[in-house]
Structure 1
Amino acid sequence: MAVPMLRASAPPGHLGALFHSNVKKPFHVQRLPCSPTELNPVLQAQTDETRSESRLSLSAGTHLIPHPNKVDKGGEDAFLVSGFNGGVIAVADGVSGWAEQNVDPSLFSKELMAHALSFLEDEEVNYNPRILLKEAHAATSSVGSATVVVAMLERDGILRIANVGDCGLRVVRGGQIIFSTSPQEHYFDCPYQLSSEPVGQTYQDAVVSTVEVIEKDTVVMGSDGLFDNVFDHEIVSTLAEHGDILEAGIG
């Protein structure tokens, strides 16, 4: 039986870990030991000192702490981290309600992120996060659905964001959150979602935002499993307490 729209809940204990970096050096993507099911990239805007002009890029760390009931399969979420242009990050949260239909909720989110990665340099995408969602969604054949957020950093410091549902993003500067995405829900515990079913949302439903970032800003991205369990002031205080990207873990 097809399920056109499913509830998605994040039980207490489903936490994402946070990372940030204050290291000033040319762009690199720092990869922790990871698999396609990990999530919650947290990135630092940094000046590329190899250029004569000031250009920004992202230094990334990722982590996943799945709910205890989902540990065996590695959780239901997926992410991508790319160094293309100034850097691209995305998180897709597989909607857990599909498990009731004997569908693995992680398959859709994993395939969606894999296709998003493959389309980054596509001419039609043109570094537009909404169009990237369009192409990745159209190419995804797995049954299921996912909430998703994508952020693309231009070298001039403009961060372009598109989100569908309740995955989120925060920009932290000087101990304060200066930008926050807002979740989209049909009703409580039923977020907007990209789906294999024709009645679901599309890229046109994505909220598109832009924010100008500067060196040493920290971008925190994650599923609702992070933001439902960790308050914004806790994120800020955790980042303030740790000066290394590998130290700032929550959970």
Structure 2
Amino acid sequence: LPPGFTQVTAGDLPELEAAIGPDTAAVMVETTQGEGGVVPLSTDYLRGVRDLCDAQDILLIVDDVQAGVGRTGTWFSWQQLGFEPDIATTAKALANGLPVGVAMARGEVATAFESGDHATTFGGGPVVCRAALTVLDEIEEYGLLSNVAERSEQFREALGHLDGVVNVRGRGLLLAAVLDDTRALDVVERSLELGLIVNAVRPDAVRFAPPLNISEEETAQAVSVFEKALG
């Protein structure tokens, strides 16, 4: 963890409340724990975190690096969960492979920054900014948020019927197939051999994070390959 952070159990509101002290400035969460196994935090918990931050007069920061830019079916993950953060970060898919990251803040929070408080050497480069704007235009023009919802349902339905898969969790096109054993690494290696890129995020969980423009046919093909990898 970076200096200054205290880690608490995701989903445990009393533990979070107990960890907040007089020097606490903010709480930072992922709405879906990406590297933690693609574990979606409940709406009640996330709204509870928002209420707790308001009651304690501290900021709520959402790390939307993995779940943002349409990945979960809305532009940002919290938009479907009934709360708003004070600060949010996103990156990864924003420029479709080019290096870019964004930190966003509500007006009164943003005004706490003054000229010279923060700077970057290469921040705001015109090439990556143009790429990011183009990505947003493409998502909007081709209706990819709707496609995320449709393909998510297709993945859930198809993966959930495979032998060896006991659960499918996540939101949108950030999903994990939970296996009935701890051979996720072996399944991932076999999937790669067969041409499917997936990732083991836990010994018993395989992450699916396909392109937002994946088609119905490509989704079916991905599930078919994964079924073969399961053996």
Provide the TM-score with structure 1 as the length reference: 0.24
Provide the TM-score with structure 2 as the length reference: 0.25
Higher helix share: 2
Higher strand share: 1
